[in-house]
Structure 1
Amino acid sequence: MADAGLFHMAIPRAIGGGEIDLPTYVQVIEEIGKADASTGWCLNQGAIFGTYAARMPRAVARTIWADVPRAVVANTPAATARAIVVPGGYRVTSPPGGQGFSTGCRHASWVAAHAQITENGQIRMEGAAPEARYMFVPVAEAELLDTWHTRGMRGTGTHHFAVKDVFVPTERTVLSQTATLVEDAPLYRIPRTLLFASGDAAVAFGMSRTCLETFGELAGAKTPRAMPTLLREQPMVQMTVGQAEAALRSGRAFLYEAVREAWAASVNNVLALEHRANLRLATTHGIRLAAQIIDSLYNAAGATAAYEDNLIQRHFQDIHVITQHLQGRLAHYELIGRYWLGLKIDEARL
C-alpha cells in the first residue's frame, strides 16, 4: 500500500501527495476494509494523520512524508507526554507506560509524540488551555511497547510507544488542535475528526459486506444439527439476511450522502455546522449499524462462527473493537440530538 501511494493520498499535492477528494477516499477505504478491517483501519489512520502536512511549512512536511521512503506517521491521541523547551526545540519524554493507541507503529517511519509544552518550569498556555503539540520522532528513537493484546483488530498493531529525553527541533512539531492551514484545500477545511470518522465507518461497512457474502456461502452449505434444511432455506435466516442487506444499503447511502454534501460545501468554502453534524451522525450510525449487521449474521451462523479461523468470528471480534473507539461512541447520538433540538453543543466534537 505504501508503494502504491495509498498512505499519501490525503497529503497535499504541493509535497507530492494525492490530495484526494473525500468521496473517493471513503470508497478506497471501504474497498480495503472489505479485504481486511485492520488493514483498512491502519490505512485510514496513517492517511488522515498525513493531513497535518497541510498545516506545516512545505519544506518540513517534505522531510517527514516525501524524503523518507514509504513514510508513515503513527500518532497517539492524548497529549500525555512532556516537552521541555530548550534552545532550538524541545526535549520530549513520554509518561510511565508510554503513549497508547498508536495504530500501525510497527510499520511507521515516525511516531508523533503528543506533548504538553513546559517552559521555565511552567505549562505553557495557548489561550485558556495548555499548549499541545505533535512532536515528530524517527521511529528508531522510540521504544515500541508490546501492549496491543485484544480480541479484535489485532492486525492494527495499535501498541504504545515511549520516548525518553529525545530532542525534537521546533520546525518538526505542529500544534495538534489549532495549527492554521498552509495549504488551503477542500479536504483540509473539513475537521480532521470527521475525516477519521468517515474512514472508520467505511471500514465498518466494507467488513459488513464481506461478512454478508461469507454468511451467504455458509448458508448454502450448512445444515444445522437437528434441522431438516440448509440455513438458507430457513425463514428466520432469510429475514435476517434481508434486514442486514437493508441496513447495510441504507446506512451506506446515508454515509455517502453526508460525505458528498460535506465535500461540496467545503469545495465552495461554505462548510457549516449542519454539514458537520450530518457527517458525524452518518459515521457514528454507520459503525453502529455495521455492528448490528454482523451480530445478526454471527447469531444466525450458529456454532460455526465460534471458531477463531472462521471469518464471521473475526468480523464479530473486529467490529466490537471498532464500536469502542471514539468515533463509534453512543454519546454522539446525544450530541446530534442536542444540535437538532437547538441546544448548546461542544462544536469541537464536530
Structure 2
Amino acid sequence: MPGLVAPPTAPSPIARAAALAARIAEAAPSIEATRRIPPDLAEALHAARLFHLLLPRAYGGEEASPATYLLALEAIARADASVAWNLFVGNSACLVAAYLAPPEAHTIFDDPRAVIAWGPPNATLAEAVPGGYRVAAGRFDFASGCRLATWMGVHCRVREADGSLRPNHLGQPAIRTLLFPAAQAELLDTWNPIGLRGTASDSYTVTDLFVPDAFSTTREDPSLRREPGSLYAFTQQGLYAVGVAAVALGAAGAMLEEFMALAQAKAPRGRPRLADDPLVQQEVAQSLAKLGAARAWLVALLEEIAAAAGPEAPIGMADRARLRLGCAHATQAAIEVADSTYRAAGVDAIFPGSPFERRFRDIHTLSQQIQSRRSHFAAAGQVLLGNAPPGFL
C-alpha cells in the first residue's frame, strides 16, 4: 500500500484543511444523500493526513497542537459538518496510540489510511481469559466513521474468572477498550437521522471476539499514557470535547456567512434590503462577536494549557474544568448563532438544498450528543469552586 507521508515543507494542517474545503462543499449533497464519504474524497482526506492530526509522531502522525486541531476541523466543518465529524471521531480514536505499546501501535497505524471506529460503552461484558479478553456477543451503536475503518473497538466492563467485575483506579467497574481488525465486526446499516447523515454512524455486532491483552487499554486513567508529548497530557475526553466544539463553530460560521450574503442581496417586498435593516445589522454583528469570542477564548485556553503541560502527569483538575468550560461555551454559542441565523433567513432557510437547512439539521443533531449537554457548565463550575468529583476528565 503506498504511503501518504507529507514532505517536511508541507502546509500546516489548517492550510491543508482549507485547501480541501471547496471540494468537500461540492460533495456535500452526495454525502447527504448516500450517507457516505465518496472514496475519492476519503483518499484526499488521507493524503492531507487529516485523520492523523492527533496521532503521535512516533507512529507517523502529526501530533498537532490542540489549537491547530480545533482550527483545522473548523475549516472542514464550514464545508460539511459530517466530514468534520468523521475526522474528529477518527482523530479522537488516534489518541489510544499514546496508551499502547509500540509494537501494537505500529501494527494499527503503520497503515497511513488507518482509521479506528467504535461506539460508546453499553452493558456488554468482556470476559477475562488467558492472554486477553473474549466478548461472546455484543451490539454497539453510533460508530461514526465505521465505513472507513480499518480497525474497530469495543468499550466493555471486564468480568474476572471468579465472576467479579474488575475495578478501575477509583474502585468503580473498569471500562476496557479492546481493539481488533474491522473485518471482525459486522456493520449494520442503521444510521438514518435528520442531520450529520454523512457520518455513517452505524451499528455493529461482534461474535466470539477474542482480543489479546496487548491490543487493549483504558481511557479512564490519563496517568497511564506512554507518550510524553504535551498533547497527550490532555485527557482523551477533553480533546473529544474540542472536536465537537470545532464542528459546531464551523457549521454555525458557515450559516452566518451565507446569511450575510443573502442579506446583502435580498429585499423583501416593498422594503429595503435585509442588510439595511438595523435589527439585522445588530444581529449579524452580535453573532460574529459571539462566535469570534468563543473561538478566541477556547484557542487561548488550549494554547495556555498546552504550554504548561509536561511529560510527568496529565493536566490537572482545574485545567480540565477550564477546557470543559471553554468547549461547552463554544458549542452552545455556535448553536445559538445557528438558531438566530436560521430565523433571520426566513423562508429562504426552509427548503431542501438551501445554504441553511442542512447545516441547521446538522448542528441540531450535534446538539443532542453528550458533549453538547448544558450540564457540562455545572460540572466545570463544581470543579472550579473546589468540589471536584472523583475521576473528572
Shorter chain as normaliser: what TM range?
Answer: over 0.9
Q: Of 328, 334, 337, which aligns to 2:372? A: 328
One-letter amino acid matched to 1:263: A
Aligned-partner Cα distance in 2 for 1:339–1:136: 33
CA–CA separation in structure 1 for the residues paired with 2:318 and 2:264: 45
1: CA distance between counterparts of 2:390 and 2:354? 42
Aligned to 2:271: 228
- 1:177-188 correspondence runs (5 A): 177-178=220-221, 180-188=224-232
Relative distance call for 1:340 and 1:177 in structure 2 (3 A) is closer
Number of the residue aligned with 2:165: 124
Task: Could you list the structure 1 runs, at least 4 aligned residues long, displaced by more than 4 angstroms after superposition.
Answer: 267-270
1:25-47 Cα offsets, whole Å, 9 max, x none, are 21211111111111111111111
Distance in 2 (CA, whole Å) between partners of 1:301 and 1:322 is 21
Alignment match, 1:83: 126
What amino acid does structure 1 have at the position aligned with 2:107?
T
| Aligned positions, number | 345
How do 1:36-185 residues align onto structure 2 when only pairs under 5 Å count? Answer: 36-66=80-110, 68-95=111-138, 98-120=139-161, 122-127=163-168, 128-178=171-221, 180-185=224-229
Give the corresponding residue for 2:307: 264
With normalisation by structure 1, the TM-score equals: 0.92
Q: Unaligned 5+ residue runs, structure 1?
A: none
Question: Is 2:13 the partner of 1:13?
Answer: no
Deviation at 1:133, TM superposition (A): 1.4
Change (3 A) 1:117 1:272: closer
Distance 1:187 1:69, change over 3 A: closer
1:131 maps to a residue whose letter is: A
CA RMSD of superposed structures (Å): 1.9
Query: Is the partner of 2:337 in helix, strand or coil?
Result: helix
Identity %: 37
| Cα shift readout 1:38-97 (whole Å, capped 9, x = no counterpart) | 11111111112111101110010111111x3511000222143322233332222443xx
CA drift at 1:183: 1.6
Q: Does 1:281 align with 2:325?
A: yes
8 Å contact 2:290–2:333 — kept in the other structure?
Answer: yes
Q: Deviations over 1:266-324 (max 9, x none)?
A: 14868332222111111001000001101111001011101121121112111112122
Please state whether the residue corresponding to 2:176 is helix, strand or coil. Answer: strand
Unpaired runs of 5+ in structure 2?
1-44
Question: Partner amino acid for 1:117?
Answer: V
TM value normalised by structure 2: 0.83
Q: How far apart are the structure 2 equivalents of 1:193 and 1:16?
A: 23
Partner amino acid, structure 2, of 1:183: E
User: Would you say 1:337 and 2:378 are equivalent positions?
Assistant: no
Deviation at 1:255, TM superposition (A): 1.0
Equivalent in the alignment of 1:217: 261
